[in-house]
Amino acid sequence: MLKKYAALFIGLISVIFVFLYKFYSTDETIISNENKIALTKEQVLKSNEINKYFKHKSKVNGFNGNVLFAENGNIIYENSFGYSDLGSKTKNDLNTKFQLASVSKPFTAYAILLLKQRNELNLDDSVQQYFPDFPYNGITIKLLLIHKSGLPEYFYFTEKLWNEKDKEITNSDVINLMIDKFPNRYFLPDKKYNYINTNYCILAAIVEKITGDSFNEFMKEEIFEELGMKNTFIYNQENISSYKDIAVGYEREKIKAQDTFLNGVVGDKGVYTTVEDMLKFDQALYKGEPVQSEILEEAFKPMHEKLLINDNYGLGWRINAEDSTNKIVYHTGWWKGFRTYFIRELGKKKTIIILSNLSNKAKFGTKELIELFN
C-alpha cells in the first residue's frame, strides 16, 4: 500500500515539475483562451496582475464596465465586469457599446485634422469664416482645439437660454443661441487654457459646414468605416434605438442616469463604441492612416507654455511629455453615468482602454494605471 502511494506521489511531483519547467522556459508562449492571443509567460503574469486588480476594483469599489490592455496592438488583457442594463440583468460583454463622453474629443480632433490634410481647412481659420454672424472675434480652429477660446460653457448658458427642455438641443441650436443672445465670454481668446465643451461643439459644426454632411454621417463614412470600427456610431435621438448592446448609464447608487436636452450636442461627447473598436482607432493613430503621422505629431505636442509639461493639452489630447522618449497622450470622460479612459504610451506602444457605465467610487488615476501595466 505504501509503495502504491509513493508511486502516486512521485508521479504527481513529476507532473508538477514538467509544468513548472514549461511555464518558466524562456522560449515558451502561453495561449490565452480568453483573448486567443499568444502571450509570453511575462505577459501572462502581467495579465494575471491586471485581472486581480480589476476583480478587486469590481468587488470592493463596484467597478462596472469593460477593460482592455494592449501592447504593440496585441491584447494582453480584456474583460467585462457587471451589467450593461441593471434592470434586465443583462451583463456587459465585449460587444457592449458605451458612451465615450469626453473621450469623443480625440475623434472630433481627428476629423478636423483629416480635413486639414485634405486642404479643406486651416487651423488658423476663424470661426467667422464658417459662421459669419458668430459674435466672438479672434477665435480660430486651433484655439478651439486647445481650449484657449475663452468662450462660455454651453452646459450653463443653455440652461438659462434654451426654453425647450423637452427637446434635445443640437450643435446648430447652440451656435444660434450664441449669435442671438451673445452670452458673456470668460476671457479674450488666446489668453489662457480653460477646458470648455463649447469648443468641440463648434468644431463638429465646422465639420458639417465644410462637408455638407451631418457629423454622424461624416464620422461613419470617413473614419469609422475606414478603420473597420463596425460597432461605433455618433449618438442621435433617432438612431440610438436601432443599435444593439447599448450600455445604460447609472449614477452612484445604481440609479439610471436621467436623459437631458444636452444629449443632442455632439463632438464634445456622443461617440458610442466598444473596447475593441477603440483599439482599432489606437492602431490607426500609430499607422498614420488615414491621418498621416506628421500631422498627428502636432496633435501630440503640448500647446500651453503656462501648464506643466506633465499635465498639458494638445490638439484633442491631454499630454504628459515629462519623458520625451515615452510621451503619454490620453483623455478621460464623464457623462450621465459613463466614465471612460483612453491612455496611450507612445514610446512603449501600450494602450489602456476602460469604459464604464456606472459612475461611482471606482475611479482610476492615469499614473496608477500606467504603473499597473509597467
What secondary structure, in 3-state letters, does 44-93 show? HHHHHHHHHHHHHHHHHHCCCEEEEEEECCEEEEEEEECEEECCCCEECC
Contacts from 210-213 at CB under 8 Å and sequence distance 24+?
210/115, 210/120, 210/121, 210/130, 211/115, 211/120
Q: Is 102 a catalytic residue?
A: yes
Beta bridge partners of 81: 65
Nearest alpha carbon to residue 50 among 33, 66, 69 = 69
How distant, in Å, are the alpha carbons of 172, 211, 215, 268 from that of 120?
21, 9, 16, 21
Quick one: CA dihedral 246, 221, 153, 327, positive or negative?
positive
CA 131 to chain centre: 29
Name residue 304's amino acid.
H
- Name the grid cell of 54: 480589476
Residue 272: helix, strand or coil by DSSP? strand
Q: Which of 277, 279, 283, 321 is nearest to 299 (CA)?
A: 321
Cell numbers for 223: 473614419
CB 65 within 8 A of CB 355: yes
From 102, 104, 149, 356, active-site residue: 102
89, three cell numbers: 440583468
Which three cell numbers mark 105? Answer: 474629443
Instruction: Supply 25's cell numbers.
Output: 522556459
What is the spatial order of strands in the sheet that 271-273 belongs to? 98-99, 271-273, 233-234
Question: Which residues, including other chains, have CB under 8 Å from residue 61's CB and lie 6 or more apart?
Answer: 360, 361, 362
Kindly list the catalytic residues: 102
